Chains A and B, each alone.
Chain A
Amino acid sequence: MKKALIVLFALALVFGGLVSCKKKAAEAPEVTVEKLKVGMVTDAGTIDDKSFNQGTWEGILRASAEGTVSEKYLKPTGTTEADYVKEIGNLYDAGYKFIVTPGFKFETAIFAAQTKYPDARFVLIDGIPHPGDWNAVVGDNTVSIFFAEHESGFLAGVATALQLGEGEAGFIGGMEIPPVQKFNWGFQQGLAYANDNLDTNVLIKAENIIYQGTFSEVAAGQQLGAGMFDKGVDVIFCAAGGVGLGAINEAKARAKKNEDVWIVGVDVDQYAHGIYEGDKSIILTSAMKYIDVAAYDMIQAEIEGNFPGGQILTMDSTNAGVGIPPGNPNLDSSVENKVADVFNLVKSGSIVVSAEQGNLVK
């Protein structure tokens, strides 16, 4: 009994001491500048997911580094509309009234939130608010941002074909949903364009276009990757989140054994993720969506007082919203130059990349 009392007393001391320290720190004079309070709710997955959440957050952090923004992200307990709306409410009640949400899963939640919190601003990336039946309504306080994934996939396809010259490609997708499909279709068009116009011969077989069905199963991605490489595929374009990481791991293991295999990354520049030895990476290039730029631009627009509320924006080649990374150590400079030419053709409209399946595979 005595011992327990001593322990309790000690604990009380420690707590009390720490709390009083804390108070002293808080008393220090605080410089208050009127900062825009920017909140973000993460999609399923973590803030460092090398994809959506991370891209959005990096855009917010960039604005924060300029000192104009104080930022906060919340991680919902589940992935239902109720979970999302609750976290949006938490941000709102805490004064974060500029709220960025990444991913189509927020569509119905933002639809509910934009009327519930009319004095808040919402940026919905890769989605459009609707009540669940596609009667989309972009409120005056909301901006929807889409990306031209097909253009990004197209450019990655051209780069891949040019660098390899000859060979076989594969595609691993996550869920079979529009952004992923558009990456795939664009990639196929890019290969075909290079084969027709740039004297390459990189083919993709229907059996090597696979949607795994999740964005999370790393092991399944590794198996799919191994299967494709075993069948003679030289390069796999992965638009599959965690599943893609599995394929990257497989490629890294093979590259260490001097096999000549490549991965084309997605969403962000995944070069660093594919490093297997020194600074050698199995990432040939990446089909990027500049999510961070989109988030940053919207924050800047709000600060400057011209938030494009009610609009649906598309990030594509014309506003540098998509493309391959600025630096690609695995691409020859001649290839990079050629891709830059093609980029300009897409930008000017000379080349039109279709966002539809048409007669493409899957």
Chain B
Amino acid sequence: MKLKLPHMHRTMTVHLIAVFLGLAAGAVFMISTGNNPFAGYAYLFKGALMNYERIGNTLATATPLIFTGLSVAFAFNTGLFNIGASGQLLAGGLCATAVGLTVVLPKPLLLLLMLLAAIVGGGLWGFIPGFLKALFNVHEVVATIMMNWIAYWVVNYTVPAYFKGEFLETESRKIPDIASLRVPWLTELLDGSYLNLGFFIAIFVSLVIWVILKKTVLGYELKAAGFNRHAAEYAGMKVNRNIVLSMTIAGALAGIGGLSLYAGYAVNIQIGILPNQGFDGIAVSLLGANSPIGVLFTALFFGILHSGKGFMNAMTEIPPEIGETIIAILIYFAATKILIERFLDKMNTRFVNRISVQTGEVIEKGGN
């Protein structure tokens, strides 16, 4: 434990610095457009948190990001770069929607079945790139990007053909209340916000993933494959199987995100859109240090940014495009956290050197 604490402390520091630099860079943008950054950020946070409804909406916005963040993070832990969270989310969302629109069951059973469908759909979308990687060494970045577009067009075909709302042109039929993750008591509790059961599933799943990665043999093997594939192989681990498994689980996670997005946050699935949440998931995972708990908090932070942006735009003269830019800058700083790490290392070495020099003197003196 003593060894671990400073490490965690350091990771936290790095990420907080990344967030701070991102916010500072955003402030520079606000100033350059003639706005007061303090007011800007005040409205940003107010917009996300100033009443129960807004808090609920912030959590609801964060929910799919938790899942896609977990998806990317899980694959990262096995040394795989999952850019396909968007497609997996779509596939999971489509399967869940299909079940929700066709199957008649009591609500708890129906939701459980939809959850399963989302896991199967997303899992399949992760399994295929994993399988191709394991068997033919097809790079997962390429494979997952292609899978994104396959999902996009499958949705584009399937939804109008089988689930079209009669007068909704680019959406499926509306999901009935019985098949929605929204529940009346929660909606009423938070003054009509979009917060739904998906958020609680997300917290639960985050913990499960944390346990898998930290406390199980499977998690250990997956991470071992990530650290050094050949060493893991030499140690007798079934690396290929683990690659497939890791991608499948990553896909399933994003798939549940699809359930939470299309049957919780939204009320139907839309065609013609490759959801941003998949790509935001990469940033969430990076900024969250690829750890489930880090992802959870980072997704909430992103939820605040996305949710509060509109109110900031409405209350100040900061144009919406600048709002987007600020978020992009934050993501950028999250991605360059390696630079911050190096900088900290450098400072640290200097500091340690100085101390050791000093203590060295002490020792010398003591020796004398």
Contact = CB atoms under 8 A, between A and B. Distances in A.
Q: Judge: A and B partners, yes or no.
A: yes
Contact of B309 (A22, A23, A77): A77
Given A44-B273, A75-B320, A133 B313 contact: no
A305 interface: no
A156 to B, nearest CB: 23
A94 B170 CA distance: 30
A80 B315 contact: no
A278 interface: no
B169 A86 contact: no
| Interface SS majority for chain B | helix
Contact of B36 (A22, A77, A86, A91): A22
B310 A79 contact: no
B205 interface: no
Given A1-B347, A86-B57, A104-B169, A94 B311 contact: yes
Interface residues of A, number: 46
A39 B270 CA distance: 25
Interface in B4-52: 24, 27, 31, 34-38, 47
Contacts, number: 103
A77 B272 CA distance: 16
Contacts of A86: 57, 307, 310
B324 interface: yes
A309 interface: no
A101 to B, nearest CB: 14
Contacts of B323: 75
Contacts of A175: 169-170, 272
A96 interface: yes
Interface in B299-339: 306-307, 309-311, 313-315, 320-321, 323-324
Given A90-B310, A133-B166, A177-B170, A80 B36 contact: no
Interface stretch (A11-19, A162-170, A281-289, A340-348): A11-19
Interface string A338-359: 0000000000000000000000
B265 A80 contact: yes
B276 A78 contact: yes
B79 interface: no
B174 A132 contact: yes
Interface string B258-273: 0001000111101011
Contact of B47 (A18, A79, A90, A177): A90
B169 A80 contact: no
A72 B168 contact: no
A178 interface: yes
B50 to A, nearest CB: 9
Interface in B237-286: 261, 265-268, 270, 272-273, 275-276
B314 A72 contact: yes
Contact of A91 (B27, B165, B270, B314): B314
B283 to A, nearest CB: 14
A146 interface: no
Contacts of B314: 39, 72, 74, 90-91, 93-94, 96
B166 A77 contact: no
Interface residues of B, number: 48
A132 B60 contact: no
Nearest to B53: A89
Contact of B320 (A15, A73, A104, A107): A73
B144 interface: no
B4 to A, nearest CB: 26
Nearest to B306: A77
Contact of A178 (B36, B169, B266, B347): B169
B265 A75 contact: no
Interface in A81-128: 81-82, 86-87, 90-91, 93-94, 96, 104-105, 107-108, 116
A213 interface: yes
A144 interface: no
A130 interface: yes
Interface string A38-59: 0100101000000000000000
B276 A177 contact: no
Nearest to A21: B31
A87 B310 contact: yes
B36 A72 contact: no
B61 interface: yes
Interface string B330-368: 000000000000000001001100000000000000000
A76 interface: yes
A188 interface: no
Given A132-B165, A133-B166, A11 B192 contact: no
Contact of B166 (A42, A82, A134, A178): A134
Nearest to B270: A79
A72 B317 CA distance: 9
B313 A213 contact: no
A216 interface: yes
A214 interface: yes
A79 B168 contact: no
B127 interface: no
A116 B313 contact: no
A82 B310 CA distance: 13
Interface in A255-285: none
27 contacts: A1-B350, A15-B31, A73-B320, A74-B310, A74-B314, A75-B321, A76-B310, A78-B275, A80-B261, A80-B265, A81-B266, A82-B57, A82-B60, A82-B265, A86-B57, A87-B310, A90-B311, A91-B314, A94-B311, A94-B315, A104-B169, A108-B267, A132-B168, A132-B267, A175-B272, A213-B272, A214-B272
Given A132-B165, A134-B166, 13 more contacts: A15-B37, A22-B35, A22-B36, A77-B276, A80-B265, A81-B266, A94-B311, A96-B314, A105-B170, A131-B174, A133-B167, A177-B169, A213-B272
Q: Lowest 8 A-B CB distances belong to which pairs?
A: A132-B174, A94-B314, A80-B266, A75-B320, A90-B310, A134-B167, A177-B169, A90-B314
Interface of A: 1, 4, 11, 15, 18-19, 22-23, 39, 42, 44, 72-82, 86-87, 90-91, 93-94, 96, 104-105, 107-108, 116, 130-134, 175, 177-178, 213-216
